Amino acid sequence: MKIITSTVTTPIGDMTAGSTGKGICLLEWSKERIDQHFKNGEILKPGMDDHISLLKDELSDYFDLKVKSFSVPLDLIGTDFQKTVWNALCQIPYGRTSTYMQQAKSIGNPKAIRAMAIANGKNKISIIIPCHRVIGSDGSLTGYGGGLENKRLLLELESKQLHLF
């Protein structure tokens, strides 16, 4: 599979966006995480397409506190369980948080907390699939592929934006 990639500059760091042509399949912070995600012969090729262009515009609006959601098409690459988890993440309301336990319950499998956390960690489309909204059951910030500081900044940004609408 060929994936077109482009650097996206955000106020909290550069990210790599990827598109299959069907939609965005990647928005990641580090090369190491990208390498972890794509080990099955995918060809990553620098370039630009309409999906990446729209993503860049929507991310700019997100960080400028102009939008709370994204319309760019996604092309989820993962197992059926991972896709279920990622779709559940998209149901967490903007500016709100959830726990792994709440997320496991949301997919009808309250005993799948660990599997939920692992699938959450394999999310390839940061910010758009809002895995940053998942916190520990004690309210603490837990692992985030973009780093805990970026997770904190995203949650603060969304909290501020709630007051603007």
Point out the catalytic residue in the list 77, 88, 131, 153.
131
**Is 90 tagged catalytic?**
no
| Residue-range domains of the chain with CATH | 2-63 (3.30.160), 80-162 (1.10.10.10)
Per-residue confidence of the chain (165 residues) as pLDDT tens digits?
A: 899 999 999 999 999 999 999 999 999 998 888 887 777 777 889 999 999 999 999 999 999 999 999 999 999 999 999 999 999 999 999 999 999 999 999 999 999 999 999 999 999 999 999 999 999 889 889 888 888 999 999 999 998 765 544
Cα–Cα distance for residue pair 95/144, rounded to 1 Å: 17
Query: DSSP letter string over 20-57?
Result: -SSSEEEEES-HHHHHHH--SS-EEEE---HHHHHHHH
